[in-house]
Structure 1
Amino acid sequence: MQAFYTLLIVLQVVSAIAIIGLVLLQHGKGADMGASFGSGASGSLFGASGSASFFSRATAVCAVVFFVATLGLSIVASGKKASGGTVLDSLPAATQPAKQAAPASAPAESQGTQIPK
């Protein structure tokens, strides 16, 4: 079960990084991918509308993988037994503080003489 949990975490992180990269690579409306490579034609690299569909499809696939991994992580986490109490209840029991020794009597009192007040 731990290996499946680790696999889901890795899958989620990789898909999140891929989504970030793909969103940053996408260009806004009206910007041409071909213009960034020096030519004025928008069809120079991916075709007339190829760049928009390629990046949007790749982003959609990564988003689906991210959401499936998130759903899987929530299912795995809900399967773990909850403690049923507070966080403080799960702490180990504190040791009892040591009893304080009775204060040592003054040497004058032990001899039977009283100290004037």
Structure 2
Amino acid sequence: MHTILVIVQVLVALGLVGLILLQHGKGADAGAAFGSGASGTVFGSRGTANFLSRATAWLATVFFATSLALAYLVHGAKAPTSVTDSIPQQAPATAPVPSVPAAPAPSADPAAPKAPVVPE
């Protein structure tokens, strides 16, 4: 069943691409207004717009239905309720933190020896 749905999905997707490429855009209507000869087509003067748009809508509906069916077949009722539910839980790492001796605080006594200044 899965393979049949994938084949139908691919064929419908190719059909959608073909139908969408066959349709003319909004800008093509200006040429038809000046007598571009659209009445001599197979579907008539406005027949292609109705046929192609309806066929596109039907193929889009079939594409949507097969997408939902494939998603249900792949995941079904066992799908997690949340994305975070599918992440495996790990215990936090408790590595010992090395102790670093603190630097001595500067002395407030002006007579205390100072560190030598090294020129750069």
Q: Give TM-score scaled by structure 2 length.
A: 0.53
Match of 1:18 in 2: 18
Q: Which amino acid aligns with 1:90?
A: S
Q: What are the residue-to-residue correspondences of 1:28-47 with 2, within 5 Å?
A: 28=29, 31=32, 35=36, 41-43=37-39, 45-46=40-41
- The runs of at least 4 aligned residues of structure 1 exceeding 6 Å deviation read none
Unaligned runs of 5+ in 1: 36-40, 105-117
Task: Among all aligned residue pairs of Structure 1 and Structure 2, give the percentage whose two residues are the same amino acid.
Answer: 18
- CA offsets, 1:90-116, max 9 Å, x none? 012325414316759xxxxxxxxxxxx
Secondary structure of the residue aligned to 1:28 is helix
Unaligned runs of 5+ in 2: 101-120
Matched, 1:53 2:47: yes
Match of 1:87 in 2: 83
* Residue 76 of structure 1, CA deviation: 3.2
In the alignment, the residues of structure 2 paired with residue 59 and residue 9 of structure 1 have an alpha-carbon distance, to the nearest angstrom, of: 19
In the alignment, the residues of structure 2 paired with residue 87 and residue 54 of structure 1 have an alpha-carbon distance, to the nearest angstrom, of: 45
User: For the aligned residues, what is the CA RMSD?
Assistant: 3.8
Match of 2:105 in 1: none
Greater RCO (Cα-Cα under 8 Å, separation 6 or more): 2
Count of paired positions: 98
